Copies of this chain bind each other. A is one copy, B any other.
């Protein structure tokens, strides 16, 4: 179910299902987008900073994306504008199970386009040990329903 701008409020918090990270997927993803030894070669990864194969940061972001999409309730986003203070405090390893929490930080209508809402959303993804593997504040655009659209929703 998609939540519209008029359904949400600062503090609203949504949580995802778990995402099991598979080694084959880690290697396949990084082979295409970030082919560094510590992302694609389990043996070479042992002498890396990580000590073992680790997912690349873009893969971690993609897992965040698909977990958000699979949430039973999700924000009706019509464009992503960027993010503030992205941190990857812990690596993601094959075998991890990741869970995402999304929290509405604040929201406002665009000054120039009042039918567009600008919403700041904190996204925190943790592994099975509750360690944070990704934390960021995303800035997204959500359509603001007009009064007549809201009436339609009420009568649906």
**Which A residues lie at the B interface, using CB under 8 A?**
32-36, 38, 48-50, 56-58, 61-62, 65-66, 69, 77-88, 91, 136, 141, 143
Q: A80-B57, A82-B88, A85-B84 are in contact. Are A66 and B34 (CB under 8 A)?
A: yes
With the chains together, A49 CA to B81 CA distance in Å? 13
Contacting residues, chain B, for A143 (C-beta < 8 A): 49
Are A48 and B78 in touch, CB under 8 angstroms? yes
Question: Roughly how many angstroms separate A32 CA and B36 CA in the complex, as a whole number?
Answer: 22
- Decide if B65 touches A33 in the complex (CB within 8 Å): yes
Copies assembled: 2
Chain B's closest residue to A140 (CB) is B57
Q: Is the CB of A79 within 8 A of B50?
A: yes
Q: Chain B residue with minimal CB distance to A77?
A: B36
- Does the CB pair B78–A87 fall under 8 Å? no
Q: Which residues of B contact A84 (CB under 8 A)?
A: 84-86
In the assembly, what is the distance between CA of A138 and CA of B57, in Å? Answer: 11
* Additional A-B contacts beyond A34-B62, A83-B86 (17; CB < 8 A): A32-B62, A33-B62, A33-B66, A35-B69, A38-B78, A49-B79, A49-B141, A49-B143, A50-B79, A56-B65, A56-B80, A58-B62, A61-B61, A81-B88, A82-B85, A84-B85, A84-B86
